[in-house]
Amino acid sequence: MHEFSRSAVIAATPEKVWAVVGDFGGLADWHPVVPPSSIEGGGDANTPGAIRAFAIDGDVLSREELLSHDAAGHRMTYSLLQVPLPVTDYVGTLAVNPHPDGSEVVWSATYESDDSVVETVEAVFAEGTYGAGLTALQERFA
C-alpha cells in the first residue's frame, strides 16, 4: 500500500472553502487542470455511490465513485474506478479543517501499484492534481 498527502493553508473559513470544494460533481469548477465531469445517471453528486466521469471530447478518461460525503465535517472520500495508470484500490480523501489562519485543506490518498510506477502516480496525482488544486484554492482566497 502506498500513500501520499498534500495540504495547504487557505485564508478563509472552513465553511467558505467547503462551499467551493464540497460538491463532488463540481471539481472542474474550481480546479484549473481537471476536465469537466458529469455524474453518471444524473443523480445527486453528493450522495455516496455517485460516479463522476471525466471526459475530453467525449472520451472518458477516468471515473470516480463517492464513498462518503460529510458536509458538516467538511470531508469526502472517493475511489478511482477507472484511470489511465496502473493503480488499484485508490481511495482519496479531501478534508477542510479549521486552522488559526483560516482553513487547512488536506488531500490524501492510498493506493496499490508496483513500486516502479509510484513516482509517476505521485507526479500525476500528488503534484499535478492535488498540488495544482490546492494552489488554485490559495490564490482564490488570497
- DSSP assignments along 36-74, one per residue: PEEEGGG--TTSTT-EEEEEETTEEEEEEEEEEEETTTT
Say what the pLDDT of residue 60 is.
80
C-beta separation of 55 from 34 below 8 A = no
Residue 113, phi then psi, degrees to nearest 5 = -170, 165
Residue 105, phi then psi, degrees to nearest 5 = -100, 125
C-beta separation of 99 from 9 below 8 A = yes
Domain that holds residue 129: 2-140
Instruction: Tell me the per-residue pLDDT of 8-65, one tens digit each, with 9 for 90 and over.
Output: 999 999 999 999 999 999 999 999 999 889 999 988 999 999 999 998 777 888 999 9
Distance CA 99, CA 142 (A): 15
Instruction: Tell me the per-residue pLDDT of 106-121, one tens digit each, with 9 for 90 and over.
Output: 999 999 999 999 999 9
Task: Indicate the number of domains in the chain.
Answer: 1
Question: pTM score > 0.85 for this model?
Answer: yes
Identify the CATH number of the domain in which residue 86 sits. Answer: 3.30.530.20
Sign of CA dihedral 7, 125, 39, 57: positive
Residue in the block written with cell 501499484: 113
Distance CA 52, CA 120 (A): 23
